[in-house]
A and B are shown apart, each in its own frame.
Chain A
C-alpha cells in the first residue's frame, strides 16, 4: 500500500523536477557586473548603496531604444549598487494614471509628453523634484525646457530626458548643387525657391503625406505648428495651445493659409505622388521617398525621418550634407534672428521618493547620462552639457547644435499639449477635411467648437 502510494507520487514529482531543470536553462542568471573594470569617478557623487536596492522605471520606449536606454545606466548601476529595472509598454500613457491612482505606479515614469505630465502633476501623483535634480536642470537645460517640467502650482517636478527636433525640410544635396538651388534663409526665400523649382518644370517641388491609419492628419498639424511658431511668435503659440486665443484666431488662420499656399497649390504638390488629395492617402513614411527618384525636391518632416529613407532596390541611403538626402530647418521669417523650433521630448517624474530614486533622477538629469545615452546612438538631448560629436549622425549633431544654441526658442509639439479632443482628434480631422477642399475658416471654426469647455 505505502509502496504504491510513493510510486504514484514519484512520477509527478519527477516530471516537475525535469520541467524545473529545463526551465532554469532558459533563465540566464544575471552575473553581477565587475566594478573593477568600470571607471567610477563620474558616479562617486551619487553615493553607494548596500544590498542593491531596486528602482523601477516605466515608460513608452521599447525594443532597440529600450535596450540602448538600459545600457546607458549600466555603469551607474555597477558603481552605485542600485538596480535599475526598466519596463516599457505602449500602453504606458493610457495606464499610468490608473496605476498611480491605485498606488501601483513605478518609482519613476518617463513621461512622453508635457500634457500627460501636467495631468499627473495636477492630480498630485508626482513628487517634487529633489534639489540635486533641480540644480542639474538649472545648470544644463534652457528655461523653456525647465518650464515644461514645472506644473501649474509653480513647483518643479520633472527633468527633461531626450529630445527630438521637428520642422526639418528634407532635400537632395546633389539636386540642389546641380541646379544651383540654395537652402533658404527665410520663409519668403523658401517660397521663391518653391516657385523656381516649379518653373523649372520637370517635377513639382513638394511631396507630402499625412496618412497614418487612425492618426491620419498629424503630419499636417506639424506644418501648421511650425508656421504659427515662426510667423506669430512663441507668445502667440503658447496662448494658442492654452486656448487663451481661440483656434480660429487670425494668427492661426494666417499660418493655415501660408501652409495652404504650398500644400493646397496643385502646381507645388504632390511630386511623384499625385494631386492635392493624394496627400491624405499617402502614408507619411512613404511621402518623402520621391526625392530619391528626382520626382520631388522638398519634404517637410521631423528628424526621425532619417530612419525612413529607403531605396526601391534596397541599397542604403546616406543622410549627410553630401549624401543622397539631407535636411535644413524650416527657416524663420527674418534671416539671422531667433530660430524657433518645435519638437518633442520626454520628462522624468518620480511617483515615490527615496535616496536611491533621488540618485537615479540626478543621474538621468546629468550631462554624464546625456553623453552616455547619445553615444549609444539614434537620439539626442537638449542637455547643454552634451557634446555634439557623440551624436550618431550628421543630422543629429546638427539638431543638438540647434537645441543648444541660446538663440533657439524651443516649443513642444502643440497638438501634444492641447486637450485630447483637439490635439489628437479634431485637429487631425480638420487637417484632413482642409486638405480635401474645405476652406480655412470653416475648418478652424469646427476645431474651435470641439475645444472642450471646462
Chain B
C-alpha cells in the first residue's frame, strides 16, 4: 500500500461517515417538521423503517429466495419437487432425517430431566452457587470447542499403544479392547448427543433453579403441613409451579438441537451415518454445489422448527393473560 492509497482510503472513510450523518440528520429534521396531523405515524414509520428494511433484506428476501431455490437444481433449472423426492428416498438422506429425530427427542428431554433433577437436589444446599457454576460452565464453551474436547475423549489408539482418549483408557483399565467410538454406528450418534446434553444441561438447570425459587413458600409449607412426602411435593407443587419455565427450556433446547451443526461437523463431519439436517444442508449447498438440495433441506428444517416456535409463543401469551 502506498501513502496515496492510504490517504485515499482515509478520505473514503471520512466521506462515508459524513454522508451517513448528513442523511440521518436530514431524516430527523424532516420528521420533526412533519405535518401535525398524524405526526405520530410519520415518526413511527421513519423510526421503524431501518429495522423493517434490514429485516426484509436479511430475512424475508433470503427466505423467499431459498424457497424458490429448493425447486431448482445445481444449474438453476426448475425441477419441481425432485429435491424433496431425493431427500425422502436416498438412504443417506433418510439416515440424516432419522438422526435429526433422535437428536430432537433425546437432547431436550434428557438435558431438561438432568437439569431439573440437579436443580431440585442442590436447591438451598450449602455451596449451591459452586454446584451451579460447575454445571453451567459448559454453556460458556462454543459448540466447536466442545466438539474438539469430546473428540479427544473419544479418541482411539490401537490396542497396546497408550490411549489418549479418556473413554478408551477407562475401557482398557477394565480390561476391554479400545473401540473406534466415533466410527461405530449407531453408538456414535448417541455419543454426539451426549456432547449436546453436556452443554444444554447447564442452561436448563439455571432457568429451572430460578423458577423453583419463585414458587411461593406458602404453597410448599402448606403441602408439608398436609403431610406430603418429597415426591408428592415435587409432582404436585414444584412441577405445576415451574410449568412455564419448563416449556421455555424444552422448546429452546429443541430449536437449538434441530439446528445443531457445529458438533457434528467438528467430530465426524457427518460421516459414519451421523449426519443431521443442518450439517447436510451445508454440505449439499456449499461443498457439493447442489444449492437446490441444500435449500430443500433448509425448508424442511424451518418447517420442523416452526411448530415449536408457535407453541412457545402461545404458551407465553397464555401466561401473560393469567397474570
Which A residues fall within an 8 A CB radius of B? Answer: 20, 23-24, 27, 29-30, 94, 213-217, 273-275, 277-278, 280-281, 419-421, 424-426, 429, 432-433, 436, 446, 449-450, 452-454
Q: If the complex has contacts A214-B265, A277-B180, are A29 and B2 also in contact, measured as CB distance less than 8 A?
A: yes
**B92 and A446: CB pair below 8 A?**
yes
Closest CB pairs A-B (n = 8) = A420-B289, A274-B158, A214-B269, A425-B288, A421-B288, A420-B288, A27-B1, A24-B3
- Count A-B pairs with CB separation below 8 Å: 85
Is residue B235 within 8 Å, beta carbon to beta carbon, of the partner chain? no
One of B4-12, B250-258, B309-317 contacting the partner: B4-12
Q: Across the interface, which residues of A come within 8 angstroms of B3, CB to CB?
A: 24, 27, 29
**A429 and B92: CB pair below 8 A?**
yes
The smallest beta-carbon distance between A119 and chain B, in angstroms, is 9
Nearest opposing residue in chain A for B158, CB measure:
A274
**B272 and A432: CB pair below 8 A?**
yes
The smallest beta-carbon distance between A121 and chain B, in angstroms, is 14
- Selected from B6, B90, B158, B293, the residue in CB contact (under 8 A) with A449 is B90
User: Could you list 10 examples of A-B contacts with CB < 8 Å?
Assistant: A27-B3, A27-B6, A29-B2, A217-B271, A273-B158, A419-B74, A420-B289, A421-B284, A432-B271, A446-B91
**B183 and A277: CB pair below 8 A?**
yes
The smallest beta-carbon distance between A432 and chain B, in angstroms, is 5
The smallest beta-carbon distance between B161 and chain A, in angstroms, is 8
The smallest beta-carbon distance between B265 and chain A, in angstroms, is 6
**B158 and A450: CB pair below 8 A?**
no
In whole angstroms, what is the CA distance A214 to B92 when docked?
16
**B74 and A24: CB pair below 8 A?**
no
Given contacts A213-B269, A421-B74, A452-B290, 17 further A-B contacts (CB under 8 A): A20-B10, A23-B6, A27-B3, A214-B270, A278-B156, A280-B183, A281-B183, A419-B74, A419-B289, A421-B293, A429-B271, A436-B272, A446-B91, A452-B74, A453-B82, A454-B74, A454-B75
Q: Across the interface, which residues of B come within 8 angstroms of A273, CB to CB?
A: 158
Q: Across the interface, which residues of B come within 8 angstroms of A436, CB to CB?
A: 183, 272
**B286 and A94: CB pair below 8 A?**
yes
Nearest opposing residue in chain A for B290, CB measure:
A421
- Selected from B77, B265, B290, the residue in CB contact (under 8 A) with A420 is B290
The smallest beta-carbon distance between B292 and chain A, in angstroms, is 9
In whole angstroms, what is the CA distance A446 to B79 when docked?
21
In whole angstroms, what is the CA distance A30 to B69 when docked?
47
Q: Across the interface, which residues of A come within 8 angstroms of B265, CB to CB?
A: 214
Q: Which of B75-102 contact A (CB under 8 A)?
A: 75, 77, 82, 90-92
In whole angstroms, what is the CA distance A281 to B184 when docked?
12
Q: Mark B1-35, 1 if CB is under 8 A from A, else 0.
A: 11101110010000000000000000000000000
Q: Which of B153-174 contact A (CB under 8 A)?
A: 156-158
**B7 and A454: CB pair below 8 A?**
no
Q: Across the interface, which residues of A come within 8 angstroms of B189, CB to CB?
A: none
In whole angstroms, what is the CA distance A433 to B269 when docked?
13
In whole angstroms, what is the CA distance A277 to B177 when docked?
14
Is residue B287 within 8 Å, beta carbon to beta carbon, of the partner chain? yes
Q: Mark B276-320, 1 if CB is under 8 A from A, else 0.
A: 000000011011111001000000000000000000000000000
In whole angstroms, what is the CA distance A419 to B287 when docked?
11
In whole angstroms, what is the CA distance A429 to B280 when docked?
12
In whole angstroms, what is the CA distance A221 to B290 when docked?
20
Q: Across the interface, which residues of B come within 8 angstroms of A27, CB to CB?
A: 1-3, 5-6
In whole angstroms, what is the CA distance A215 to B180 when docked?
19
Q: Across the interface, which residues of B come within 8 angstroms of A446, CB to CB?
A: 91-92
In whole angstroms, what is the CA distance A186 to B203 when docked?
62
Nearest opposing residue in chain A for B282, CB measure:
A214
Nearest opposing residue in chain A for B89, CB measure:
A449
Q: Across the interface, which residues of B come within 8 angstroms of A424, CB to CB?
A: 287-289
Q: Across the interface, which residues of A come within 8 angstroms of B90, CB to CB?
A: 449-450
Is residue B66 within 8 Å, beta carbon to beta carbon, of the partner chain? no
Is residue B73 within 8 Å, beta carbon to beta carbon, of the partner chain? yes
Q: If the complex has contacts A419-B289, A446-B92, A454-B75, are A425 and B283 also in contact, measured as CB distance less than 8 A?
A: yes
The smallest beta-carbon distance between A444 and chain B, in angstroms, is 14
In whole angstroms, what is the CA distance A432 to B182 when docked?
13
Q: Across the interface, which residues of B come within 8 angstroms of A215, CB to CB?
A: 269
Nearest opposing residue in chain B for A435, CB measure:
B183
In whole angstroms, what is the CA distance A216 to B265 when docked?
11
Q: Across the interface, which residues of B come within 8 angstroms of A450, CB to CB?
A: 90, 92
- Selected from A20, A278, A432, A454, the residue in CB contact (under 8 A) with B158 is A278
Q: Across the interface, which residues of A come within 8 angstroms of B288, CB to CB?
A: 419-421, 424-426
**A216 and B289: CB pair below 8 A?**
no
**A216 and B269: CB pair below 8 A?**
yes
In whole angstroms, what is the CA distance A273 to B77 when docked?
47
Q: Across the interface, which residues of A come within 8 angstroms of B270, CB to CB?
A: 214
Nearest opposing residue in chain A for B185, CB measure:
A436
- Selected from B73, B180, B284, the residue in CB contact (under 8 A) with A454 is B73
In whole angstroms, what is the CA distance A425 to B283 when docked?
8
